Amino acid sequence: MQNLKGLQPCLWFNDQAEDAAKFYCGIFPNSKITRISHYTSEGQDIHGHKEGDVLTVEFELDGRPFMGLNGGPQFKFSEAVSFSIDARDQSEVDYYTSKLIAGGGEQGPCGWLKDKFGLSWQVSPVILQEMLNDRDRAKANRAMKAMLQMHKIDVAKLQEAYNG
């Protein structure tokens, strides 16, 4: 079996792939749009797009490849798939949360959120996983209980609960 040339998520949009790629590239460091392809006149009776409309947008977020596809209104994002951001500290939690919900997104429970395109993200500090995996189950349970009461994760409150 041959090695894969690459593995990347393909995100289905309803004519917003280029806007979404620009939005995400403006948030994450080391990010860029790498290629844009367009619909041709072939298959218009099937895909319904005009020749020249954006078909796909390939982009990188912090060096990781993604593709946005302008497929149409048939499919929507759901929480069944999300992208997780390991924030180093509270300032990164605050940064990514505020940037991703800007323009119509919404904060959800436990660090989850949806951006203005409906894509789900999890923004959580790295220390949370350390706390939840602590061998001292009382500390881990206190951190879990605190996290379950939060929307945007508050590192200081997590630490306080964890420490008892």
| β-bridge mates for residue 106, sequence order | 114
In b/e form, how buried is each residue of 139-162, taking b as 16+ CB within 10 angstroms? bbebbbebbeeeebbbbeebeebb
Kindly report, residue by residue over 53-67, the tens digit of the pLDDT: 999 999 999 999 999
Q: What is the pTM of this model?
A: 0.92
In percent, the amount of the chain with pLDDT more than 90 equals 90
d(CA 36, CA 25): 14
In percent, the amount of the chain with pLDDT more than 70 equals 97
For 85-152, the three-class secondary structure string (H helix, E strand, C coil) is EEECCHHHHHHHHHHHHCCCCEECHHHEEECCCCCEEEEEEHHHHHHHCCCCHHHHHHHHHHHHCCCC
Q: Identity (one letter) of the amino acid at 135?
A: R
Kindly report, residue by residue over 2-23, the tens digit of the pLDDT: 566 678 999 999 999 999 999 9
CATH assignment of 77-164?
A: 3.10.180.10
Domains 7-73 and 77-164 share a fold: yes
d(CA 107, CA 123): 10
pLDDT given for residue 137 in this prediction: 98
Going from N- to C-terminal start, the domains of the chain cover 7-73, 77-164
Using a 10 angstrom Cβ sphere, with 0-12 exposed, 13-18 middle and 19 or more buried, the burial of residue 91 is exposed
Specify the CATH superfamily of domain 7-73. 2,3-Dihydroxybiphenyl 1,2-Dioxygenase, domain 1 (3.10.180.10)
Average pLDDT over residues 83-109: 98
d(CA 29, CA 160): 31
